[in-house]
């Protein structure tokens, strides 16, 4: 539920651009920056906030992060000022950065060691549900009843979630005083840097294509069917996260390699025959299948690699992820203006080949083989220095 609300809060302005632009008396391009400022909030806040709150008990911290969404979405729903809305969206990103850094480690602590990956997959299921169902539903409600109603409903959902967490979610202690983990020390743990690089390259590749999917569909003559294309992507992503949830605790390395390879193959198909509608639909389905469980795969790899330093490592994943979101818009824009949409699949393919090479080389740490992981997988695999 937290993941669902976070993704919905992040992406909903993209589906409500005309209504929000008219209501706030600004251009659609400026409303688009409400998504950008959200990503910037997550980018600048995730690591420092997570590091500063290592000693806090986990449930109160989780409740602060969730409650923040109720506040910022309520402010957004009632705001008539673009500047106020922009500030609210920045703080929404701040709360999101903290929440994403918490979610994977929190879910993993609720279950035995051999079920950590599946727990993270279940916790992350809110992401593809939000992308495939939540955003279309929110866009429809915004068009039917006004965009403010949609943000108000998200605040109401968040209040329900707060009481649900208080009633049902167990609390866990933070790190004992003096036992926190320095950012540099966690960054130099064996395997962390390969996980961060693969996350950056993979998510950057995704966002180049996803951000500019509308112009990319023009040569195939299906730009007016973008809703159907995104539905295909979303349904396939739901299937992808289900497959990952079932297999991740035994086949993490293999799933990362297969996911990256499938995405690369879909990019190759789009590069060769991206003007053929049938090829586009099939490639988007394969891309969605590959991407559906990506967040779970990378967060689980990070959590297993970092051990007790999971929350700090997750804050790095959140930061890299948001760099990739912002970078996708920038790099995709440069490719679009310089070479046109035909360059997208090839740029994506280069990034994915690099990700595949690094993931393949990280067989000892980061993305270890199943046998190696089963031997090394201990609750405390953190080593000072």
Please answer whether residues 53 and 312 qualify as being in contact, where contact means their C-beta atoms are separated by less than 8 angstroms. no
The structural domains of the chain, with segments of one domain joined by +, span 1-178, 181-380
Same fold for the pair 1-178 and 181-380? yes
Q: 1-178 maps to which CATH number?
A: 1.20.1250.20
Per-residue pLDDT of the chain (385 residues; tens, 9 = 90+): 999 999 899 888 877 877 888 899 988 778 877 888 888 898 888 889 988 888 899 999 999 999 999 999 999 999 999 999 999 999 999 999 999 888 888 888 899 988 888 888 888 888 878 877 887 788 788 888 999 999 999 999 999 999 999 999 999 988 765 556 777 888 988 899 999 999 999 999 998 898 788 788 889 999 888 778 878 888 898 899 889 988 988 899 999 999 999 999 999 999 999 999 999 999 999 999 999 889 889 988 998 898 878 878 888 998 898 888 878 878 888 888 899 989 999 999 999 999 999 999 998 888 987 665 554 444 444 443 3
Q: Which CATH architecture group holds 181-380?
A: Up-down Bundle (1.20)
pLDDT at res. 378: 47
CA distance 293 to 127: 9
pLDDT given at position 176: 63
């Amino acid at each position: 539920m937290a993941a669902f609300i976070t993704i919905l809060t992040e992406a909903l302005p993209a589906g409500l651009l005309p209504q929000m632009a008219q209501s706030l008396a600004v251009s659609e391009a400026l409303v688009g920056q409400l998504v950008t400022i959200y990503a910037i909030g997550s980018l600048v806040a995730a690591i420092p906030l997570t590091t500063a709150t290592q000693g806090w008990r986990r449930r109160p911290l989780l409740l602060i992060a969730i409650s923040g969404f109720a506040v910022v979405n309520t402010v957004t729903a009632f705001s008539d000022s673009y500047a106020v809305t922009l500030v609210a969206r920045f703080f929404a990103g701040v709360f999101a950065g903290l929440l994403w850094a918490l979610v994977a480690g929190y879910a993993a602590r609720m279950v035995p060691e051999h079920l950590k990956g599946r727990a993270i997959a279940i916790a992350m299921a809110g992401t593809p549900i939000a992308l495939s169902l939540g955003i279309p539903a929110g866009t429809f409600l915004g068009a039917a009843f006004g965009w403010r109603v949609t943000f108000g409903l998200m605040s109401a959902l968040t209040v329900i979630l707060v009481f649900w967490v208080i009633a049902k979610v167990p609390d866990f202690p933070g790190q004992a005083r003096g036992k926190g983990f320095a950012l540099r020390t966690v960054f130099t743990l064996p395997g962390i840097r390969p996980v961060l690089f693969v996350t950056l390259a993979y998510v950057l590749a995704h966002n180049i294509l996803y951000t500019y999917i509308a112009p990319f569909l023009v040569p195939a003559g299906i730009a007016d069917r973008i809703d159907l294309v995104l539905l295909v992507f979303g349904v396939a992503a739901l299937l992808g996260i289900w497959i990952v949830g079932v297999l991740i605790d035994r086949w993490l390395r293999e799933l990362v390699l297969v996911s990256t390879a499938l995405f690369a193959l879909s990019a190759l198909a789009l590069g060769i025959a991206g003007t053929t509608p049938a090829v586009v639909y099939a490639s988007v389905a394969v891309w969605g299948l590959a991407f559906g469980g990506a967040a779970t795969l990378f967060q689980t790899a990070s959590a297993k690699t970092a051990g007790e330093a999971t929350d700090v490592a997750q804050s790095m994943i959140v930061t890299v992820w948001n760099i990739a979101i912002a970078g996708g818009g920038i790099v995709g824009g440069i490719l679009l203006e310089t070479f046109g949409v035909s360059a997208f699949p090839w740029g994506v393919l280069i990034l994915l080949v690099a990700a595949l090479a690094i993931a393949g080389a990280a067989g000892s740490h980061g993305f270890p083989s199943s046998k190696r992981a089963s031997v090394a997988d201990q609750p405390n695999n953190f080593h000072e220095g």
